[in-house]
Amino acid sequence: MRNLNLQIINEALRKSWSAETSSTGDWNSGNPSLGQCTVTACIVQDYLGGDIVNSIATLPSGKKISHYFNLVNGKYIDLTSQQFADETIFTDPMPKKKSFSSTREYCLSNENTNNRYEILKAKVAKCIH
């Protein structure tokens, strides 16, 4: 495997995001990271390790959305933050495990999320290898 850095992973993700990997039905190429946070956080963890954390994003409209990203070597990595308006407010990040052993396990326990993750994982692997 190549020596992977965040830039290579980010580029592969951007090439791989699509409607079929998004959690939202209104995904579009103008906002490619829309609905990609959970599966992206899992891919980043696959390659860089660390933990997945959760924050609640409050949009300018007042709508609240669960948002996942990574904590790697003490640094937050959020490759899907551009899906949000600048005025979005986030709660402090923390694990979201519920009854599971990790945030990742909790996220991938959802069949739809797991299916989207597997699709994205295969696409990213093709870009990287």
- How confident is the model over 52-77, as pLDDT tens digits? 999 999 999 999 999 999 999 999 99
Predicted pLDDT of residue 27:
96
Distance between CA atoms of residues 2 and 71, nearest Å: 22
1 within a domain of the structure (yes/no): no
Domains identified in the chain, total number: 1
Rounded (10°) CA dihedral 72, 104, 95, 70 = 30
- Helix H or strand E encompassing 48: helix 37-48
State pLDDT tens for residues 23-41: 999 999 999 999 999 999 9
**Do 34 and 22 touch, CB atoms closer than 8 A?**
yes
Whole-angstrom CA distances from 126 to 108, 119, 122, 129 are 21, 11, 6, 6
Could you list the residue range(s) of the whole structural domain that residue 10 is in? 6-128
pTM for this predicted structure: 0.95
Each residue's pLDDT tens digit, 89-120:
999 999 999 999 999 999 999 999 999 999 99
